[in-house]
Amino acid sequence: MAVTCLDFEESIVELETKIEELREKSRREGVDFSSETKKLHKKVNRLRHDVFKKLTSWQRARLARHPSRPYTLDYIQFMTTDFVELHGDRAFGDCHSIVGGFAKIDGKPVMLIGSQKGRQTKDKIYRNFGMAHPEGYRKALRLMKMAEKFHLPVVTLLDTPGAYPGVGAEERGQSEAIARNLMEMSSIGTPIVSVVIGEGGSGGALALGVGNRVLMLEHSIYSVISPEGCAAILWNSCDKVEEAATALQLTAQDLIRLNVIDEIIKEPLGGAHRAPERAAHILRRVLRRHLAELGEMSSEELISHRRGKIRRMGDIAMA
Amino acid sequence: MSWFTKAKKPLEAIKELRDKKKDIPAGLWRKCDRCKEIVYITELERNFNVCPKCDQHHRLSARRRIELLIDDGTFVEKDAALHSLDPLKFKDSKKYKDRLVSSQKKTGLKDGIITGWGKMNGRPVDIAAMDFDFMGGSMGSVVGEKITRAMERGATNRRPVIVVACSGGARMQEGTLSLMQMAKTSSAAGLLAEKKIPYISVLADPTSGGVTASFAMLGDVIIAEPGALICFAGPRVIAQTIRETLPEGFQRSEFLLEHGFVDMVTHRLEMKASISTLLDYMCHGLDAGAGR
């Protein structure tokens, strides 16, 4: 699956290719290379551990945007059954950067909504690179309200560079759409679990992210601005992305320390893109646990729990 | 030619003086960016920074904004001591801590907003006014907290809430915590809606990013000052994305009015009267004791 590999992944991928070649050779020539492949396996595992143990913030940001990383529809495929996609905001159109609909997780019905990026060029354009228009946020809100009406929990998957900055988006009220979602999501009487699966790009991600639980995959990021944008504004230089990524404290590991999120979800070693099915399986198990816990709460409890959680966000001194 | 050079010299001198204007107290003049007319600063200030020649609405400090909207001697400031803890220990070309200190010196505020309550033509209201001179009016934890508290006070005391937005958006130096202030303030606006407390949002130049995409767009009534830039993504970002020049007047108050996102565009000097009239209607239920 890994078509593209990032610079820090290169040494790992190189070794893996070597192992593959040895295997191929032993199959072809009937020679036993098992001791060599075993050694190489050990070596590649150690290397993977070493590389992934000390990832920088910028490296994580690049993993979060990895072109092979599983997207919402991949998770839907691998972790749900009976998905029925629903379309449109009932006002202007259907946004392809956000998908949503009914789905079953372990046989239990949920409303699943997530940002969607495209894989190939054509698909990328169709999904507008995961950058939603106001219609996307309005569709998401419509589906959340429907979930509330029919007593279904909501699962949202966050993965966007940000809300789309364009003329049409502004004309049709990008800000209003995001603002309304933030307000309405805080008072929806059904469980909401939000998971950052890749890029949590500012307000465009948050507009799906007001949950009773906010979780992040191990190599995902969640930020007020992209490292590139931050570097351009505060450092006046595009070369400072690494510094900006570190300063912004946008990794899951940073954000659990800052009490912004509730839990980090482990990814398969090497990142979710190395084993998408396995990543989805882990996510499914985590979701099942949270949904079961939240399922015990009444509508009123869920709303006051969510509001209380949002209310505590921030860090201030009184005098 | 000598005729020209002679005439130029006194102008240069004025320019120099104008550039130094921040160090020089009242009594001097300023050139209006729009009509290029020279106006006396005292006259401009008396006019709440609206150009007396062309009506251009220049930026107004939070303090002056309160004076504009609240009856003399009735304002009680709240949460004035709240300040940022620099949770990320953020440092770019400058330390966030140092930026805070220099903004504090410049504005006399602990952070970029004044909140409190007072009377507006005799009617008690809770009010929050953002200050652009404090790090571009950006919203970090303190600004978010103070707006939230102002709204909560309105809900508890059953007083209408007025928030004047004037901000470049969320404050980068507090990272994702700033982002979360969007959810916090929007949730508080939801509380006002639930309790049926009137909430009027006033948008001044500029209102953008995370501020527009949260509490600022959630007023029962939204009023913009004339010619204000009101947007989610700024015009420069959009121009870069689409690589086209933007239409005339794009993202200005009048454009938003035309597209249905603000109720009215109101002159600064008529703002107080206009809000009072609205509140007379909107407080119909509150005044009658409904929901108590």
Report residue A257 as tokens: 């320390």
Name the residue facing B246 among A167, A307, A318 (closest C-beta).
Answer: A167
Indicate yes or no: CB of A224 within 8 angstroms of CB of B93: no
In A, minimum Cα distance to B258 occurs at A171
**Residue A186 touches partner B, C-beta closer than 8 Å:** yes
Please tell me whether residues A112 and A32 are part of one structural domain. no
Percent of chain A beyond pLDDT 70?
A: 99
Domain that holds residue A268: 60-318
Q: A73 lies in a domain? A: yes
The rounded radius of gyration (Å) of the Cα atoms in chain A is 21
Q: How far is B36 from chain A (nearest CA, A)?
A: 29
Residue A70 and residue A50 in one domain: no
Q: Is the pTM for the entire model greater than 0.95?
A: no
Total domains present in chain A:
2
Residue A120 belongs to a domain = yes
Tell me which residue in B90, B92, B217 faces A235 most closely, judged by beta carbons: B92
Q: Give the CATH number of the domain where residue A202 resides.
A: 3.90.226.10
Among all residues of chain A, which has the CA nearest to that of B142? A316
Measured between beta carbons, the chain B residues lying within 8 angstroms of A259 are none
For residues A75 and A33, state if they share a domain. no
CB proximity A172 to B under 8 Å: yes
- Pair (A206, A285) in one structural domain: yes
Counting every residue written for chain B, the total comes to: 292
d(CA B57, CA B248): 18
Q: Would you say A75 and A157 are in contact if contact means Cβ atoms under 8 Å apart?
A: yes
**Residue from B85, B180, B229 whose CB has the most chain A CBs within 10 Å, to mutate:** B180
**Where does the pLDDT of residue B121 fall: very low under 50, low under 70, confident under 90, or very high at 90 and above?**
very high
CB distance A67 to A119 below 8 Å: yes
How many C-beta neighbours within 10 Å does residue A122 have? 9
Q: Residues B173-225: pLDDT tens digits?
A: 999 999 999 999 999 999 999 999 999 999 999 999 999 999 999 999 999 99
Q: Residue B244 has what pLDDT? A: 76
Where is average pLDDT lowest: A13-17, A147-151, B222-226?
A13-17
Give yes or no: residues A29 and A138 share one domain. no
Q: Select the residue of A166, A175, A222 nearest B176 (Cβ to Cβ).
A: A222
* Angstroms from B92 CA to nearest CA on chain A: 6
Residues in A closer than 8 angstroms to B90, CB to CB, are 247
Residue A129 domain-assigned (yes or no): yes
- A299 and chain B: CB distance < 8 Å anywhere? no
pLDDT, tens digit, 9 for 90 and up, residues A21-70: 888 888 888 888 888 888 888 999 898 898 998 999 999 999 999 999 99
Per CB-CB distance under 8 Å, the chain A contacts of B181 are: 313-314
Strands B123-130, B161-167: pairing is parallel
* pLDDT > 90 in chain B, percent: 78
Q: Which of A167, A169, A203 sits opposite B210 (nearest CB)?
A: A203
Distance CA A35, CA A65 (A): 37
Per the domain annotation, does A179 fall within a domain?
yes
Per-residue model confidence as pLDDT tens digits over B149-171: 999 999 999 999 999 999 999 99
Q: Which residues contact A14 (CB under 8 A, 6 or more apart)?
A: none
Specify whether A178 is located in the same domain as A314: yes
Q: What is the pLDDT of residue A1?
A: 44
For residue A173, list chain B residues with Cβ-Cβ distance below 8 A: 217, 259-261
Average pLDDT over residues B12-33: 64
Q: Name the A residues in 131-170 with CB < 8 Å from any B CB.
A: 163, 165-167, 169-170
Q: Is the pLDDT of residue B6 over 90?
A: no
Nearest to B90 among A163, A247, A250 (CB): A247
Same domain, A160 and A253: yes
In this complex, do A182 and B144 lie within 8 Å of one another by their Cβ atoms?
no
Give yes or no for a contact between A118 and A159, defined as CB atoms under 8 angstroms apart.
Answer: no
Can you tell me the distance from the alpha carbon of B68 to that of B249, in angstroms, rounded to the nearest whole number? 27
Does one domain contain both A168 and A38? no
Q: Is B261 in contact with A173 (Cβ distance < 8 A)?
A: yes
Q: Tell me, yes or no, whether A64 and A42 share the same domain.
A: no
Whether B179 sits inside 8 A of A258 (CB atoms) is no
* CB-closest option in A184, A249, A316 to B175: A249
Provide the shortest C-alpha distance from residue A69 to chain B (in Å).
23
In a domain, A1, yes or no: no
Q: pLDDT class for B243, splitting at 50, 70, 90?
A: confident
pLDDT tens per residue across span B30-62 = 889 899 999 999 999 999 999 999 999 999 999
Average pLDDT, chain A: 94
Distance of alpha carbon B27 from alpha carbon B23, whole angstroms: 12
CB–CB of A258 and B177 under 8 A? yes
Question: What is the DSSP code string of chain A?
Answer: ---S--GGGHHHHHHHHHHHHHHHHHHHH----HHHHHHHHHHHHHHHHHHHHT--HHHHHHHHT-TTS--HHHHHHHH-EEEEE----SSS---TTEEEEEEEETTEEEEEEEE---SSHHHHHHTGGG---HHHHHHHHHHHHHHHHTT--EEEEEEES-S--SHHHHHTTHHHHHHHHHHHHTT-SS-EEEEEEEEEEHHHHHTT---SEEEEETT-EEESS-HHHHIIIIIS-GGGHHHHHHHHT-BHHHHHHTTS-SEEEP--TT-GGG-HHHHHHHHHHHHHHHHHHHHTS-HHHHHHHHHHHHHT-S-EE--
Asked if the Cβ–Cβ distance from B184 to A165 is below 8 Å, we say no
Residues A11 and A74 in one domain: no
Closest CA to A98 of A70, A61, A139: A139
pLDDT of amino acid A172? 97
Query: ipTM more than 0.85?
Result: yes
Burial (0-12, 13-18, 19+ Cβ within 10 Å), B16 = exposed
Residue A155 located in a structural domain: yes
What residues of chain A lie within 8 A of the CB of B250, using their CB?
167, 170
* Nearest-neighbour CA in chain A from B39: distance (Å): 33
- Per-residue pLDDT at A33: 82
- pLDDT band at residue B4 using 50, 70 and 90 as cut-offs: low
pLDDT of residue B24: 46
Residue A173 contacts B, CB cutoff 8 Å? yes
Which residues on B lie below 8 Å from A207 (Cβ)? Answer: 213
Q: Which residues 228-287 of A have a C-beta within 8 angstroms of B?
A: 230, 233-236, 240, 243-244, 247-250, 255, 258, 260
- Which of B87, B92, B232 lies nearest to residue A163, judging by beta carbons? B232
Q: Which of B113, B145, B149, B186 to mutate to test the interface with A (most CBs of A within 10 A)?
A: B186
B251 secondary structure, DSSP code: T
What is the reported pLDDT for B245? Answer: 80
CA–CA distance, B275 with A167 (Å, rounded to integer): 31
Each residue of A263-284: pLDDT tens digit?
Answer: 999 999 999 999 999 999 999 9
Residue-wise pLDDT tens digits, A234-260: 998 889 999 999 999 999 999 999 999
Residue B122 has pLDDT above 90, yes or no: yes
A175 lies in the same domain as A203: yes
pLDDT value, residue B3: 53
- Mark yes or no for CB contact B87/A315 under 8 Å: yes
Closest Cβ opposite residue A311 in set B93, B140, B184: B184
B251/chain A closest Cα distance in angstroms: 8
Say whether A170 and B215 touch across the interface (CB within 8 A): no
- Same domain for A106 and A40, yes or no, is no
Evaluate whether residue A2 is within a structural domain: no
Domain-located, residue A230: yes
